[in-house]
Amino acid sequence: MRLVTWLGPGGAERPGAVVDVDGTDRVVDLAPVAGSVVEVLADPALTAVARARAEAPAAGLPALDDVELAPPVRPGTILCLGYNYAGHVAASAAPDDVPEYPNVFVKTPNTLAGPRDDVALPAVSQHTDYEGEIALVIGRRARNVPLAEAAGYIAGYTLLNDVSSRDWQDRSSQWELGKCFDGFAPLGPWVTTADAVPDPQDLLVEVVRDGVVTVSQSTETTVFPMAFVVHYVSQVLTLEPGDVISTGTPQKLPEALAAHRPLAHGDTVTVRVAGLGELTTRFVQEAAQR
């Protein structure tokens, strides 16, 4: 099941389920049965969705392409992982270095952007970059979760572009300011519920920049699998329903690294994972500030 947050009449955010009707993605309004996607996810049996789908009119559902989309969830906390794929290591590390612990940072609430929003390239940054990632969505409150139970706290998966200002990130030991410009976390387009993902450690993460594949690596090669990350992080934070953990980016392909240049006005970046959809973001240059 694919769950979106879409804007109904008047612009209010409503949960919706995406259904394929004769080859076209259409939206079943879930507002009659749930207040938000997070509320839908709280019921692993998805009974509310089943009921809404059964009661939805057979014709007249709006096409997904025709509705406005918000971020599928609005997390209180967005955690991100650094260096979580084999071969993606700090510049100071040996290529086969494997970190002993997950390296976690935070994206603040101002970074959240919808799946069709443009993202501003900050005037004060000389090098804005993209990172294509799978983000897991927490379904129920998680604190000190044993490893064997951790997968059960993951309600679904979505895509996140961990947009990063490299020059600001490199100004100090902590990366936060480089990661936290407004809009630097486009999320979506939908949450795919966990029951529809047979093996989250067997997904090919791809990034396409202006038509060229620049990242292509399987979640088989992550250092810390998703369930472990939930287990580990839940020893620290109480994770709340709707919180998001983005599981890191693979290294760019050698050709892409060699040809790399900062994002520029009009560039588009697509993060795509079979089964999770595509998240396409267009970047627009911010005007210089006073």
Report whether 221 contacts 32 (CB < 8 A): no
284 touching its own copies, by CB under 8 A? no
Q: Which of residues 219-238 bind its own copies (CB under 8 A)?
A: 233, 235-238
Structure tokens at 239: 């994770």
DSSP state of 9: G
Per-residue binding string, its own copies, 138-177, x by CB under 8 A, is -----xx-x---------------------x--xxxxxxx
Q: Are 178 and 249 in contact, with CB atoms under 8 Å apart?
A: no
Smallest distance from the beta carbon of 232 to its own copies, in angstroms? 8
Give, for 40, the enclosing helix (H) or strand (E): helix 37-41
CA dist list (Å): 5 to 18, 27, 35, 37:
10, 10, 10, 7
In the complex, least distance from residue 83 CB atom to its own copies, rounded to whole angstroms: 9
| C-alpha 255 chain-centroid distance | 25
Tokens 């079979």 correspond to: 274
Is the N-terminal amide bond of 189 cis, ω within 30° of 0?
Answer: yes
106 binds its own copies (CB under 8 A): yes
Q: Which residue, 58 or 288, has its beta carbon nearer to its own copies?
A: 288
Exactly one of 16, 71, 122, 186 binds its own copies (CB under 8 A); that residue is 122
x/- mask, its own copies, residues 76-105, rule CB under 8 A, reads xx-x--x-------x--------xxxxxxx
Tokens encoding 36: 């938000």
| Given 38, 49, 113, 180, the residue binding its own copies (CB under 8 A) | 180
Q: Which residues bind its own copies (CB under 8 A)?
A: 76-77, 79, 82, 90, 99-106, 108-110, 122, 124, 143-144, 146, 168, 171-177, 180-182, 233, 235-238, 240, 289-290
